[in-house]
Structure 1
Amino acid sequence: MLDRFLFRRIDNAQLVVFRICYGFLVSAECYGAIITGWVRKTLVEPKFTFSFIGFEWLQPLPGNGMYFYFAIMGTLGLLIMVGYKYRLSAFAFAFMWTGVYLMQKTSYNNHYYLLMLLAFIMAFFPANRDASLDAKLNPNLKSHTMPNWIRWTIILQLFIVYSYASVAKLYADWLDFSFIDVLMRPKKDYFLVGELLQQKWVHVAVAVFGILFDLLVVPALLWKRTRKIAFAFSIFFHLFNSYVFRIGIFPYLSLAFTVFFFEPQTIRNIFLKTKNITITKVLEVPKNRNVIVGILGIYFFVQLLLPLRHHTFQDNVLWTEEGHRLSWRMMLRGRQGTIQFKVVNKENNEVKYIKLDDYLTNKQKNRVASYPDFTWQFAQRLKKEYTEKGMDVQVFVRSRVKINDGKYYEFIDPEVDLASVPWKHFSHNEWICPSQNQ
């Protein structure tokens, strides 16, 4: 039964068309990051970046290096789109994008994480078997079929993303619409819709629609009777997000995913213009069947567990941020904070208060003041700087944080020397003060 489901050969038109869209969109993302100044602001102008803990060695290339880095990624996207040297191009892009993802989290976005996962998934898929330069140059490569597990890998990944995103919205500030109000305030000056976005009824509609769309869109796209309606809602939802929240290629990538829900022959007729292809749905169980099933099982087991890990930590994830990343908790909160770093020389008790402007960009300052891992990493950086000067120091912090429109509360224990405590990846960091009804 499992083999018949996973290894039945199906039309590969969905994968081929998605490859073309995916390649174009990641190319646009990379070139666009250069043109819009994202690379300059995020990777060139800062004196250093806040990488994921454990990857502090991974820093941007000096000078104009990151412009070339993104230009290369953009070119790899074009090669993926046309299907030339596909495997090499897809894996090269996957590793390069992962490097960018890990070397900076000041501009962290769940969508960047999704693209990292997708980049590796696509690198393993045989997406260049049709409508590609590879297939044209090597006719033996050409095929109009793929195993069914490829399509369902994409569908299951999307189902996990959307389902966890929906469940995460079931908390007080979303359900009383107050966070929607916070989200919409900066949009007041938007052309035509700015004032509309400040209306209470719009906030209610956005909150309810956000929960229901994320929860139902994948099942609705799978069911033929509701597929066209769900697709129409998808177009509205993603174009709305694109205009209002300015989140790059990801609304369009989400729309591209919908090709996996329509009949392959329909996709082939519209996009590939090959109407006379006959697909024989035969069962071909490969010799590495157990390897494929094992990898898929482990991968989705991890994907199902990662978003739940915050339940194993003490306190509320909205306050501590422990377990927030890699969990599809999208657009759920805004954080603001105030912070003061005090460096104490252990030898003579000399005290120095750190001027953050000497080290950080405005966006980095906001993260250091509001997110515990940023605070800890900056304390470690200060310790390293003073150690290189021959000084043994302690680093203390006075920090207050508020979530959304809540009150400011003390966030970091001011008596703890952050320079001397390790970061705990799998348990609660006790120097984060307890939440106050967050």
Structure 2
Amino acid sequence: MVTLTHAPARPGPSSKVGARLAELRAYLEDEVDGASLGLFRVGLGLTLVVAAARFFVHGWVTKYYVEPTWFFPYEGLSFVRPLPYPGMLVLYAAIGILGLALAYGAHHRGVGGAAFVVFSYAHFCDKTNYLNHYYFISLVLLLVTLAPIGRGARGFAPNRVPRLWLWLFRFQLACVYLGGGLAKLRPDWLLHAQPLGIWLSSHAGMPVLGPLFARKWVAFAMSWAGAAYDLSIPFLLLARPTRKVAYALVVVFHVLTAMLFQIGLFPYVMMFGSLLFLDPSYPRRLPWVQGLSAPEAAGPRRGKPLPTALYAFVLGYVALQVTVPLRHLAYPGNGLWTENAFRFSWHVMLMEKNGSLELTVVDPATGRRFGVEPHDYLTPQQAKQMSTQPDMIIAFAHMVRDDFARRGVPGARVYATTSEVSLNGRAPEPLVEPTVDLAEVEDGLGPYTFLRPAPTSRPLY
């Protein structure tokens, strides 16, 4: 009798994928030291305190929210408007108080959620005030609200957290670096060393380093080095052999940018945020931290299964943080000129853009023409930002159209008589087609059709 035997079935592709996903899920659910995320929460809270204090000290609450009579809301967020005086003063005081509470860490989810809402509300009141690091702060406040990184039983940090949360914060920081690096791969940055050439030459009188900053090759070297830094630093920080040198580069890079360029809190936010790429237990080895936290737990350990809903959120969040910064690639033309999809894309320090705008309003019933200066409606800061940003120009034209309608000129036509813009040291050129009735142009997701072609000349500097 012949006995037939069957070899065990080989696992198919689907079973291999399932096994790999199970391994990945187990890896992400393993619990690691929560000290670095706890210290990040403390730093984020103190950043809110400093940010709020700066608005009071410099009078920015009044300058940005009280003095303007017109604002530029974000699409879909027209209901977000500054609170009547003294509401915004109270709101910024709340930001500072919530920052202190977040740094302490008790009830961090409620505190973080309130800070996320209040800070984001202040940031999204007016496009004029958009800053990349304010957007970053809003994002990480959302993550802090969801992550289990509140105050531990015996210190400022939780003893352990699922590894998933550490990687999600690292991912968000990497998006800032990599998005900024990819955005620098442009002719102006790499082939003309602009706008660094303009900015560095303004520091030619600085002691010791000033003469170097006046040399063109230094601008080229710093431009290429900046792009290389952004594109490589997350990986250098993650690799154990290069970690210490990489963090030293982080400090040197951001201290230098803080000294040379007026970019607010961004360098400091990135310096303390980049510490998350280090070993998660590093704070427990700092002399000033010892005694504040629970004893270090050795190595990762198996954690509890995380809910499927959390994985769905993480996948959606990651997808948005990848696609939103890259959406500018779907638009034709020079993005520095059109600024299609420029915000929320980590386009940091990419351009020096100056412009002037004058509108002409035409009464369709009588043909009478009225000249309009931006300063008739806007503060100097608003006028400066609006004159070079196409979506804000459209919003301003609609603002003027509606104002004339209230004054008895319905259906007014609005034209950009003058719209001279200088991009990265080039001679000024018209930005807007002067024959287009801006009152009829609707801002949307498509490419702008009312703009003149981007300049192709070389920068003058």
TM-score w.r.t. structure 2 length?
Answer: 0.87
Q: Does 1:421 align with 2:441?
A: yes
Q: What is the one-letter code of the residue matched to 1:157?
A: Q
Q: Deviations over 1:202-237 (max 9, x none)?
A: 323321221121111111111111111001111111
Distance 1:262 1:57, change over 3 A: closer
Which residue of the partner structure matches residue 38 of structure 2?
A: 16
Which residue of the partner structure matches residue 396 of structure 2?
A: 378
Which range moves more in the overlay, 98-107 or 213-222? 98-107
Aligned counterpart for 2:199 among listed residues 173, 183, 186: 183
Task: Give the whole-Å Cα distance in 2 for the aligned partners of 1:394 and 1:371.
Answer: 20
Q: What is the one-letter code of the residue matched to 2:352?
A: G
Distance 1:209 1:132, change over 3 A: farther
Q: What is the one-letter code of the residue matched to 1:169?
A: K
Task: Give the whole-Å Cα distance in 2 for the aligned partners of 1:91 and 1:226.
Answer: 36
Equivalences for residues 278-297 of structure 1 within 5 A: 278-279=297-298, 281-286=300-305, 288=307, 290-297=308-315
Q: Report the Cα offset of residue 80 of structure 1.
A: 0.3
Task: Give the whole-Å Cα distance in 2 for the aligned partners of 1:166 and 1:310.
Answer: 14
Q: Does 1:221 align with 2:243?
A: no
Aligned counterpart for 2:140 among listed residues 114, 118, 126: 118
Query: Does the 8 A contact of 2:44 with 2:103 survive in 1?
Result: yes
Q: Report the Cα offset of residue 77 of structure 1.
A: 0.4
Which residue of the partner structure matches residue 302 of structure 1?
A: 320
Q: Report the Cα offset of residue 402 of structure 1.
A: 2.2
Q: Report the Cα offset of residue 437 of structure 1.
A: 2.5
Equivalences for residues 21-420 of structure 1 within 5 A: 21-130=43-152, 143-175=158-190, 176-188=192-204, 193-270=209-286, 271-273=289-291, 274=293, 276-279=295-298, 281-286=300-305, 288=307, 290-392=308-410, 393-398=412-417, 399-420=419-440
Aligned length in residues: 429
Q: Does 1:433 align with 2:446?
A: no
Query: Does the 8 A contact of 1:83 with 1:131 survive in 2?
Result: no
Q: What is the one-letter code of the residue matched to 2:182?
A: V
Distance 1:389 1:90, change over 3 A: same
Task: Give the whole-Å Cα distance in 2 for the aligned partners of 1:287 and 1:236.
Answer: 39
SS, match of residue 452 in structure 2: coil
Q: Report the Cα offset of residue 196 of structure 1.
A: 4.5
Which residue of the partner structure matches residue 12 of structure 2?
A: none
Distance 1:205 1:434, change over 3 A: closer
Q: Deviations over 1:401-420 (max 9, x none)?
A: 22111132222122221112
Q: Report the Cα offset of residue 320 of structure 1.
A: 0.6
Q: What is the one-letter code of the residue matched to 1:37?
A: G
SS, match of residue 440 in structure 2: coil
Task: Give the whole-Å Cα distance in 2 for the aligned partners of 1:272 and 1:298.
Answer: 38
Stretches of structure 1 lacking an aligned partner (at least 5 in a row): 136-141
Distance 1:294 1:384, change over 3 A: same
Query: Does the 8 A contact of 1:144 with 1:279 survive in 2?
Result: no
Q: What is the one-letter code of the residue matched to 2:181?
A: S
Distance 1:259 1:186, change over 3 A: same
Task: Give the whole-Å Cα distance in 2 for the aligned partners of 1:293 and 1:57.
Answer: 32
TM-score w.r.t. structure 1 length?
Answer: 0.92
Distance 1:327 1:256, change over 3 A: same
Task: Give the whole-Å Cα distance in 2 for the aligned partners of 1:71 and 1:202.
Answer: 43
Q: Report the Cα offset of residue 350 of structure 1.
A: 1.4
Task: Give the whole-Å Cα distance in 1 for the aligned partners of 2:279 and 2:205.
Answer: 42
Q: Report the Cα offset of residue 186 of structure 1.
A: 4.1
| Percent identity of paired positions between Structure 1 and Structure 2 | 28
Stretches of structure 2 lacking an aligned partner (at least 5 in a row): 1-22
Q: Deviations over 1:25-68 (max 9, x none)?
A: 12111111211233232222222222223333322223333222
Distance 1:193 1:364, change over 3 A: farther
Q: What is the one-letter code of the residue matched to 2:113?
A: F
SS, match of residue 446 in structure 2: coil
Q: Deviations over 1:133-156 (max 9, x none)?
A: 8x8xxxxxx951110001000111
Q: Report the Cα offset of residue 322 of structure 1.
A: 0.5
Task: Give the whole-Å Cα distance in 2 for the aligned partners of 1:191 and 1:379.
Answer: 46
How large is the Cα RMSD of the aligned pairs? 2.2
SS, match of residue 126 in structure 1: coil
Distance 1:132 1:416, change over 3 A: farther
Q: Report the Cα offset of residue 69 of structure 1.
A: 1.4
Query: Does the 8 A contact of 2:196 with 2:219 survive in 1?
Result: yes
Which range moves more in the overlay, 72-81 or 303-312? 303-312
Query: Does the 8 A contact of 1:60 with 1:66 survive in 2?
Result: yes
Q: Report the Cα offset of residue 185 of structure 1.
A: 4.0
Task: Give the whole-Å Cα distance in 1 for the aligned partners of 2:60 and 2:229.
Answer: 30
Which range moves more in the overlay, 5-14 or 248-257? 248-257
